Chain A
Amino acid sequence: MSRVIPATAASLAALVTIGCFSEGPTEVAPTPDPLVVVQGVVRPDQDQQWILVEKTFNGTTTDFSSSFVPGGNVEVPASGASVTMTNLTLTTDPCGASTMTEAAAPVDVAQPGVYFTSVGCPAVRPGDTLALRVVLDGDTMTARTVIPMATTFTLRGADTEVTVPGPRMTFNRDADTLRLAVDGTEGRMLLLEIGERRFGATPSFIADNHAQFWVDGTEISLPGDAPNIFEDFDEDLPIPPIFRAGRYYRITTAWTDQNFMDQLRSENSEITGRGYINSIEGGYGYFGSLLAGESTLRVVGDADEPYEGAYTLTGTVDSVAVDLAMELYRNGTFDGLTEVSGFFEGDWVLGSYDAWAPGSLIGDGVNISLFQPTGAVTPEGFDEIRRWEVRGRLNAGQPATLAVVVDGVQVGTVVATPVS
């Protein structure tokens, strides 16, 4: 037995050593031929339709900067393709088979691999069937979509109902459920996108907490206090809500075709590489269509704290007389910091103001940031925004004087007067 133990131990050690170094974890993968990927969404509310034609990654490229398309960089664009889009329903369409080219793109969004139709061609009407044909390097990719039909998107809260597009609707996140309905036909999926309108006057700015919901049907309900699982969050922190009181939200609705729904509901498994429902014959990707609408939601909440409610802000800032109506709401408290936000409407330093603004409250000290476009453009091409911080202590039911600060320098004062 005394010989068995060392012999066994030595054998085990040898086997483990051999096994540990016998193989490596990675190797160069075989280089496959790339596939052509076509992705595009046809919308009747666009003058020019566009699609993106690119290629799959196959281990031969290194440029992976991705950004918003159209206008942003396309990683592996497929240039030089012959692309046509045809309205099969409207046989009298004077456009015929509309050629799509990279050159037809508006200047500000032109990128290799992004193909645009000419303005107004082909005709795109609800109910029409459109065909896409892409020929690249001898390969032909085809797809079809049927444009959905709908007459009205209806948005309802507890006591109000508006059509989309339509007037701004007020919605109480603490008490109401938001309901969206469409009287659609020839479509498949109802989609609801929600994004904060950060600056009111510049609606193209959408904050990160962008939520998208869809149903295989014609109605969506969304409780006002629903958490936003689409937003990145830390598991040790509360999940942010979709709606915060005191903010405007852009509500985008869409009634989509089958192809659009299929690409949204399916994906290839990381393990098997299968699972995606492909709607491009001869290639990969999707060619979908949708009808869209847009509206604004004014989200309010129950006013439980003494500082919540309506105020007027009057005073002088940067030597300019300002006069704003403010409606302030508490958003939540975590780690001693209370988030607040509110609606602001009236005259501010650079002109009229109708937007919401975020802020915070520590103790009874409030700090609210007001943003206003200057009308200039930054060297990076963005709208230049100026920020004022309104600081001070709010007195419940009593007027309070607040300082207005820019970059740490006080530039004026305003008096916050509660409105009963």
Chain B
Amino acid sequence: MRINDFPASVGPWARLAHDLSWESSTSGLGTQSRTGTGMTRWGSKVRCVRYSGAWALAWALLATPAEGQERSLSGIARSAADSTALAGVAVQVDGLSGAAMTDTDGRFRIGRVPDGPLLVVFSRLGVETDTVRVAEDQTFVEVYLTPRAVQLSGLLVETSPEAAARERFEESAQASAITIDNRDIQLTPTFLEADVIRTIQLLPGTGAVNDFTVGYNARGGEVDQNLIQLDGVTIFNPSHLGGLFSTFDAQAVGEIEYLKGGFPAHYSGRLSSVLDVRTRAGNPTDFGVMGQISLLSSKALVEGPLPFEGSSFLLAGRRTYADKVIAALTEEELPYHFSDGVAKAAFPLPTGGTLAITGYLGRDVLDWTVGEESDQTDPLTLRVDWGNTLLGINWDDRLAGLPLSVNLGLSDFSTTVGLLPSIIAIENDVRLWSARAALTLTPGRSHEVRVGGGFESYSMQYDVTSPALDAVYLDQGYQPSVLSAFVDDLWRPNDRLMVRPGIRLEAVGGGADEVTISPRVNAKLFLSEDFALTGSAGRFYQPIHSLRDHNSPWSFLDFWIGADEATPVSHSDHLVLGFEQWLRPDVSFTVEGYRKTYDDILNISATDDLSVQGDEFVTMTGDSWGLDVLLRKYSGEWNGWIAYTFGKSTRTDPFQTFAPAHDRRHNINVVLSGPGPLGSRMSARWGFGTPLPYTPIIGQWEHREYSVGARGFGDSFTEPIADPLLNGERYPAYSRLDLSFRWDKTLFGGQIHPFVQFVNLYNRRNIFLYTYDYRQNPGVRESLPQMPFLPSFGLEFVF
């Protein structure tokens, strides 16, 4: 919890909040009613919570002692829409200068306020300003603030992006953090549909090896080193169609926090980055419908109130329909589709807390009848079926007066690949049960301490069987578990410095039986109210790994294995130094340099023995360093960002040191949005990347099939042979320009948003990979391109 003792000093964050409070208080659109108890209110409803004896005692032990006739005042600000906590709300006591600011849990505390009744003003962009009367014996206030819609380019957002970014700048010690919202996602031109991860790939320090993958590399790390969560629950393979689209429906996404390094102690399990995607809560007062029709899929979202006051639901689903269209219009067959759906229910609790339940289900299905049924044989079907199932429960409440957050999760990823019904079946099931809890303490005015822990239990099973042959080709399982505890402290020794040291302990079971200690620290030093030096350092562990060929340009799926007697726990050390400067109220400039080392990271071994567990990988060490630059304009007629990345990475396996496939030296992405023709909102993205490495083919051989019965070689297969020196050559440079145009129209009382997108406008033939034919004289190398020029269009609607 943040304590802002503003009479003594007014920090830049408090001043901005004060400014914002005036700005927002001038444009209220109305309030909604709600019953409160024991308070007086103006404009909206406030709920006061009086301390029970035990809570008061606990609070008295932890809080700063009162002095003289002064008392402290604390509380929490919530959204009246869905009871979720509101961060960045300025809290100003009438008659005092300055303001406190609510933290990420919506909580605030003012150390010294005068005795007697008070008027307290709560304000923030995106909500109605509210003034609350606080009784003379009252020390805690809970206020529900009504969202105030801000119209930006046809999208309803609840706060301005620069306010959120500025809040992060002023209130968070976290380095390497980037906040993006639904607006950024919707306005970034991309292939067919707005996509969360496609937008992430355009940020500095982040990249993808080609157009066909939503996998991303954060600061030189491998794709499986990114922790991707949906409402706090880890999601294993967040992609559809072999990595072409991410699993996140942009319409259902609320906030996104992206930490590309140096993440705090409450995050764990991955070496390189955290992408924390939060599903937005439904509207608790009115029913609403929105949807989108694109060339890829149709999707719909329904939201509205539930019977319990303040509670809401959100249901969103989408399905590709190319299979149906092709079947209806032609005699051809496209036996593939994907579908996904997300549901969220949010409930305010009588205790003042909230309970939110999130579910997600996504499946990709390829169901291809490769042989018809006859009276002698059954039909033969090639079936590839994979997808995620998630269930998450988030409970935010108070325990002994202290903010408590609890997250329970189940994440399952399963794959079936087979010639069915009985020829061959390859089955993989990865399941994670997780429970985490964190408690926030305020042992002093300048400290905000989070303590917590959790337990994660993984189950990963791989089976390759042939029921027809009664044969088991592979039967391997991994059952790692992680028992963890952490503590970190956001310490503000003065107005200029924020330090967030932390430490995390993990006991990895399931065969690895290893205890890891992860010290971490983030710091920010304000040299002026608009300029801060930033830095972070820490150690990070990863007990599970994706078995993929990291040097392949494409990976259909990730196959996860976990630490055991043979499979190590990877670790990485990060060091980040940089600065962030706000050039204007809506323009920030960030520069960060980093260095990362890696130990015991895994690459797939092609020579593993199926009957041996533990030889399916080779271990590698690694090193990455680089520089990220981000110039970002958050609002105005033209907004967007310019992201530049310099990076260099190496990996060392038992045989050689080489550049990994994602080792791009320079990368620049320019994303701009502004007024376009015909009243549209135009967005453009231009990217340029210096060459990525690849391993050339050095010939082809005839792999001859030996016939035992015929005593010789019959059929043969011509196979390429790669250079043993990994990634010794590089593709040409990459560049691509995308454009999109989006219109905002009103129809039948709702809004429709037609959009047109052009991917790779100048049809640059970026190389996806080379194929070789050395059976010709001379040999021929063919360039398989990445995405060509692709126009697409669609329609989004909101009612």
Interface residues of A (CB under 8 A from B): 1, 4-5, 8, 12, 15-16, 18-20, 22-23, 25-35, 37, 39, 41, 43, 46, 52, 54, 56-62, 64, 66, 68-71, 75, 177, 191, 193, 195, 206, 210, 213, 215-217, 219-223, 225-227, 229, 233, 235-241, 244, 250, 252-254, 260, 262-263, 265-277, 284-285, 288, 290, 292, 294, 331-334
Contacts and interface: CB of A to CB of B under 8 A. Distances in A.
Contact of B709 (A5, A18, A206, A265): A206
Given A25-B782, A267-B703, A294 B775 contact: no
Contact of B677 (A5, A28, A225, A263): A5
A269 to B, nearest CB: 7
Contact of B552 (A210, A271, A285, A333): A271
A28 B779 contact: yes
A168 B19 CA distance: 96
A233 B707 CA distance: 21
Given A5-B678, A22-B765, A26-B783, 18 more contacts: A20-B763, A27-B783, A29-B697, A39-B704, A56-B699, A58-B698, A59-B778, A66-B716, A68-B710, A69-B713, A206-B709, A229-B423, A235-B370, A239-B372, A268-B703, A270-B771, A274-B695, A292-B708
B777 A238 contact: no
A221 B469 contact: yes
Given A30-B696, A206-B710, A271-B769, A235 B721 contact: no
22 contacts: A15-B762, A19-B789, A23-B783, A27-B780, A29-B697, A35-B699, A60-B777, A61-B775, A69-B713, A220-B470, A220-B471, A253-B708, A262-B607, A266-B606, A267-B719, A270-B720, A271-B553, A271-B769, A273-B695, A273-B698, A274-B549, A274-B606
B709 A35 contact: no
Contact of B737 (A15, A31, A41): A15
A293 to B, nearest CB: 9
Nearest to B419: A229
B723 to A, nearest CB: 8
B15 interface: no
Contacts of A227: 371, 377-378, 380, 423
Contact of A25 (B470, B714, B763, B783): B783
A402 B144 CA distance: 97
Nearest to A191: B708
B717 A267 contact: yes
B774 A57 contact: yes
B369 interface: yes
Interface in B349-380: 369-378, 380
Interface of B: 369-378, 380, 419, 422-423, 468-471, 473, 549, 551-554, 606-607, 610-611, 677-678, 695-704, 706-714, 716-723, 737, 758, 760-765, 769, 771-783, 785, 789
Nearest to A66: B716
Given A69-B712, A276-B703, A239 B371 contact: yes
Top 5 A-B pairs, shortest CB-CB distance: A59-B779, A19-B763, A273-B722, A238-B374, A239-B371
Contact of A332 (B375, B696, B709): B375
A32 B698 contact: yes
A46 B712 CA distance: 12
A280 to B, nearest CB: 11
B371 A235 contact: yes
Given A5-B677, A27-B780, A19 B760 contact: yes
A223 B610 CA distance: 24
B779 A272 contact: no
A276 B717 CA distance: 12
B754 to A, nearest CB: 16
A59 B776 contact: yes
Contacts of A263: 703
A215 B471 contact: yes
Contact of A31 (B380, B697, B778): B778
A272 B473 CA distance: 24
B107 to A, nearest CB: 49
Nearest to B470: A221
Contacts of B702: 37, 54, 66, 75
A272 B704 contact: no
B372 A236 contact: yes
B781 A26 contact: yes
Nearest to A233: B371
A41 B712 CA distance: 9
A28 B773 CA distance: 10
Nearest to A11: B761
B156 to A, nearest CB: 27
A28 B711 contact: no
Contacts of A30: 696, 779, 781
A266 B611 CA distance: 14
Contact of A333 (B375, B607, B719): B375
A139 to B, nearest CB: 14
Contacts of B711: 43, 46
Contacts of B776: 59, 62
A294 B709 CA distance: 8
| Most central of B719, B721, B723, B769 by chain A CB within 10 Å | B721
A240 B371 CA distance: 9
Contacts of A23: 765, 783
B606 A56 contact: no
A195 to B, nearest CB: 6
Given A216-B610, A216-B611, A271-B769, A52 B371 contact: no
Given A23-B783, A75-B702, A272-B549, A220 B469 contact: yes
Given A227-B377, A276-B719, A57 B775 contact: yes
A59 B469 contact: no
Contacts of B423: 226-227, 229
A29 B704 contact: no
Contact of A57 (B699, B710, B737, B765): B699
B716 A195 contact: no
B609 to A, nearest CB: 9
A56 B774 contact: yes
Nearest to A195: B709
Contacts of B779: 28-31, 57-59
A252 B708 contact: yes
Given A233-B371, A260-B706, A35 B377 contact: no
A260 B720 CA distance: 20
| Most central of B374, B553, B702, B764 by chain A CB within 10 Å | B702
Contacts of A25: 765, 782-783, 785
B690 to A, nearest CB: 17
B613 to A, nearest CB: 14
A346 to B, nearest CB: 27
A31 B771 CA distance: 14
Given A57-B775, A284-B701, A292-B708, A239 B713 contact: no
A332 B783 CA distance: 47
Contacts of A64: 775
A334 B374 contact: yes
A52 B712 CA distance: 10
Contact of B712 (A57, A71, A213, A225): A71
B761 A12 contact: yes
A226 B423 CA distance: 8
Nearest to B378: A227
Given A4-B677, A220-B471, A233-B371, A272 B552 contact: yes
A62 B783 CA distance: 22
B701 A56 contact: yes
Contact of A19 (B469, B764, B781): B764
Contact of B380 (A1, A239, A250, A265): A239
Nearest to A266: B606
